[in-house]
Each structure stands twice: as structure tokens, then as C-alpha cells.
Amino acid sequence: METILRDQVEMEIRSKGLRTSVVVHSTKQSLFDSVVTMKSGYRVRYAARWFTLIFAPIAPFFAISLQKEIKLLQPDIIRIHAPNLSAFWLFITPAAWSRKWEIVWHSDVIPSKYSVGLRLFYYFYRPFELLLLTRAHRIIATSQDYLDSSIPLMPFKHKCHVEALEIDSERIPIALRTSAQPKKDIGEGLRILCVGRLTYYKDFGTAIRAAFRLPDAQLRIVGDGTERASLEMLVKELDLSHRVTFFGECSDDELWSHYAWADALCLPSIERTEAFGLTVNEAAAFSKPSVVSDLDGSGLPWNARRSHPLSRVFLPGNADSLADALKALNRSMLS
């Protein structure tokens, strides 16, 4: 969400000359806001985040941060990226009442069968989500597939519009996007890249098990999160330490080098929380196909197919299906 927010702002400033301010949570725990003016001229206010609870940042004075930026900018439209717990502060922010609200709907909040905390959380979240959707003037869904399957959006289809997310390719140096893939060692097989937060719904364990079924394949996993220890244990159990490498969080330039290295991106998510898959767009910027879960009701398969003609899908959570899709992709690339 943070990436697409940045990219949307940058692209809209360049193409439309919009005046924009952004209010987000601080990435580090803080008692006070900080404000940064970006090179493009827009302000980013990092609202003080005290702590995080069940993936939700707790920022008790977010409404005050919103009030300050709205008074400074005097915007015509307030664009809300959802799901976003702090968007509910708009209801008690006087400066927001007279503005039009537009929601970019990244994903439903899924009452996950894998997380009791998230299931309980949604019962409290849902009434406020309903109020937000009712108040919004316009709702942007990122694919028709996701809009058609979204239960929360169903009563509001009359004000929903479909706009696919796009990355700002200008933030990737053209020399990197067009550079040749680093030469492979003798006997080296398919190079597979996974990028994302190491959390349950990304299901990178399936990618590791698929790599086990492809004797010559190399797998890189970029990102960090709560599942890292269990994923590293799985790699040891399968004796894959020589073929699976964890890189943790990395800079943009390091990330671009991983895309340049790879033959294909793998996105094995198991829940509709993966609504679109922006990393698919990043891979496509390097002319790399993606192999993704065929998630019902998600825009992920549609986005993969539209982004690169060689992209493929497989059965979610099925390492054999993923291995077969990767083999088929490799044959297509070699033919």
C-alpha cells in the first residue's frame, strides 16, 4: 500500500500537476509527528505511531495530524487507501466533513481461518468499514475480478470504478530495467524470486517445497516478517540451504538487482488478502513473467496474465502444482 501510494502521488503530480499532501503512520515508534517535503514538492506527515496491535498501527492523535494537513492544503478530495484503521479518524476530523472522500480499495479485510486475532478484529472493524463505504463519494477497485467477489463492496457497486494499479517505472533506473541477466553457472536451473512480507498468507513455504522438486532451481526470498524462522527451518529440513537464500529487507537498488537476476517471480499467496500483487508489475518492468496462485476472487491471476504473456497460475498451497507451472514456464522460455 505504501509503494502504490507513493507511486500514485508521483505520477499524478507529473501528469496532472496536482497539489497533494500525504498523511501516513510513522515507520518507527514515536510520540510526535514528523514532516518531510519530498523532491516533487508534496508534504508527507508521519503521524506518531505508539505501537502495533494485530497488524494495526495505533496512533491515538492521527485525527489531529489529519486536521493539520487538511487545513494547510485545503483539498477538494481526500483519498483513503483501505483497509486502513486510521481512516476512521476522519469521522471526528471537522476539516474533513466538507470534502469528498474517495477510497482506493486494496483489499477486503479477510476474517482469516489462519488467524483467530484477525477474525475477532473484523467484528469490531466491520461497522466502521460500513460507515466509511457509505460516506465515500467514489470507490476504486483494482480489478473487476476483485470487485465482483468482494462482499463488503457488493452494496456499493453503484459508486465503484475499476482502475488497475500501476507502478511508477521511472523510479527504476532504465539501465537496470534493460540490463542483461547475470550469467548462470554451469548446471544452474530456473532462478525463482519471491518478494514480500514473510507472513502466513504469502505462503512462501510452498515456493520452498516447489524448489525442492526442481533439483537445479535457485530460490531467493526478499523480505522479512514473523514467518522467517519457520521458513528457515523448512529450508534446513529439506537440505536446501545451498539453493534457497534469504535476503531480508533491502534497498530499492538491491531489490532491482534481484529482479534482474531472476527468471521469474513467484507469488504463492493463499488468501484474497493478496488482491492484486504489485510485485508482478515490478517483475514485468524487468520483462520477467510471474507464477502466481490461482486465487478465486482475487485480481492476482488477471494481473499476472496482463503483465507478461508467459505468466502462469497454479493451485494455491500446492507445491506439486507450482513445480509443474515452473517447469512449464522454463520450457516456454527455452523454446
The SS3 of residue 80 is strand
Q: Which residues contact 274 (CB under 8 A, 6 or more apart)?
A: 107, 201, 202, 267, 293, 295, 298, 300
pLDDT in the model for residue 125:
85
Domains and CATH numbers, the chain: 2-162 (3.40.50.2000), 177-334 (3.40.50.2000)
User: What mean pLDDT comes out for the span 144-166?
Assistant: 96
Specify the pTM: 0.87
The whole-number pLDDT of residue 239 equals: 97
- Asked if the peptide bond before residue 173 counts as cis, ω within 30 degrees of 0, the response is no
The more confidently predicted of residues 84 and 191 is 191
Gap between the Cα atoms of 330 and 2, Å rounded: 33
Beta-strand ranges (E) seen in the chain are 21-29, 34-37, 43-49, 51-53, 56-58, 77-82, 100-105, 138-141, 160-162, 191-195, 218-222, 244-248, 264-267, 290-293, 312-314
Which three cell numbers mark 9?
502521488
Average pLDDT, stretch 197-205? 95
Q: How high is the pLDDT of residue 297?
A: 92
pLDDT digits (tens, 9 = 90+) for 278-328: 999 999 999 999 999 999 999 999 999 999 999 999 999 999 999 999 999
Name the average pLDDT for the chain: 93
User: Is the per-residue pLDDT at 112 higher than 70?
Assistant: no
The pLDDT of residue 249 is 95
**Angle at which helices 300-307 and 278-285 cross, to 10°:** 10
For residue 99, what pLDDT band results from cuts at 50, 70 and 90? very high
Of 310, 271, 293, the residue nearest 206 (C-alpha): 293
Amino acid of residue 3: T
Q: Give the Cα separation of 223 and 198 in Å (integer).
A: 6
Q: How confident is the model at residue 27 (pLDDT cuts 50, 70, 90)?
A: confident
pLDDT in tens, 213-251: 999 999 999 999 999 999 999 999 999 999 999 999 999
Q: Among residues of the chain, what percentage have pLDDT more than 70?
A: 97
Q: Give mean pLDDT, residues 169-192.
A: 91
Rounded Cα gap, residues 320 and 206, in angstroms = 9
